[in-house]
A and B are shown apart, each in its own frame.
Chain A
Amino acid sequence: MTSGALFIAVFLACAVEAVEAVTIVLAAGTARNWRSALLGTLTALVTLAAIVAALGPALTLLPIELLRLVVGALLLVFGLQWLRKAILRASGHKALHDEDEIFRAQLADAKKVGTDWYAFTLSFKGVLLEGLEVAFIALTFGSNQHNVPLAALAAGAAVVIVAGAGALVRAPLARVPENALKFVVGIMLTAFGVFWAAEGAGAVWPGKDVALFAIVPAVAAFALALVAVLRRVRVRQA
């Protein structure tokens, strides 16, 4: 896997998570109190840094085959979950992930409660949970490719760009094509998961690393074919 591919995979996956976190913080700040929302965000970031500092280095101590097996299996199960939902959304069998709607729902929730601790907790929870997902993606991809710094850079770039966009517009990030991004990320996570999990379990891919150049388009073609079939089924039912 080239450094460029590692960067793109981590960047896209982390951008999706960052969009979700920023949407929650924007809702809490707009509806309640910016100071509390930002304080919640900062506290979550410090907690997150402590968790990653405590647990992250343990990953690099594991033997590479075991790491590939565990990370590959996790990525594959996790990736298939994303891919499955993305296919259902793209074929019209599940509602599209609507950041505008999520923003409105969070805003309505935030207005119901009369304390600024709500803005703090909402931001803290959103940033910590989405941040854990970002850390998981960056650490697993990075440690597997022996390039945690590059994966961390990609994750950091994604978070900074999305947070910067959020701060500039101070509105929901509905213009980010999140559903399309999730579809692409689901394909990439599934493809890398298949590759690493099989390698970790002792299989040898024909062409070794070059096999990834066949696996990624194959997973993409398979997912698009499933979308086409499900769309046809939906049209026939209507």
Chain B
Amino acid sequence: MIRWIRAFGAFCYDFVVGDDWRVAVAILVAIVATWLLSLNHLPAWWVLPVAVVAVVPWSLWRARRRDNQS
């Protein structure tokens, strides 16, 4: 049973997070920032688009560098 739960957990992690956990962490940080801004009645809709624009090229650059090294 424990092995099955572990395997299911690994599947869920791989399915949602994939091979770059930094992207998931950066998005969670951006969501918290959005929440904090909106809690203080400040415009917050722009935070996630900015996070995507910053995170995707960074992750791609890392993947490309890793690819070149191997």
Count of A interface residues, CB-CB < 8 Å: 39
* A198 and B47 contact, CB distance less than 8 A: yes
Count of B interface residues, CB-CB < 8 Å: 35
- Chain B binding site: helix, strand, loop or mixed by DSSP? helix
Q: Given A77-B17, A78-B15, A219-B52, does the pair A203, B60 have CB atoms closer than 8 Å?
A: no
Q: Who on chain B is nearest to A199 by CB?
A: B45
- Minimum C-beta distance from A77 to chain B (A): 5
Residues of chain A within 8 A of B16, CB atoms compared: 74, 77-78, 81
Q: Does A45 contact B (CB under 8 A)?
A: no
* B64 and A230 contact, CB distance less than 8 A: yes
* A202 and B23 contact, CB distance less than 8 A: no
- Chain A binding site: helix, strand, loop or mixed by DSSP? helix
In the complex, how many residue pairs between chain A and chain B have their CB atoms under 8 Å apart? Answer: 104
* B48 and A76 contact, CB distance less than 8 A: yes
* Residue interface bits A191-221, CB-to-B below 8 A is 1, else 0: 0001001100111111000010001001100
CA of A85 to CA of B68, assembled, Å: 16
If A73-B31, A87-B56, A132-B15 are given as contacts, then 5 extra A-B residue pairs at C-beta distance below 8 Å, sorted by A number, are A78-B15, A94-B63, A198-B45, A219-B52, A230-B60
Q: List 12 A-B contacts (CB under 8 A).
A: A73-B28, A77-B16, A93-B67, A136-B15, A198-B44, A201-B35, A202-B35, A203-B48, A205-B45, A206-B45, A218-B49, A226-B60
B-to-A contact residues, CB < 8 Å: 11, 15-20, 23-24, 27-28, 31-32, 34-35, 37-39, 43-45, 47-49, 52-53, 55-57, 59-60, 63-64, 67-68
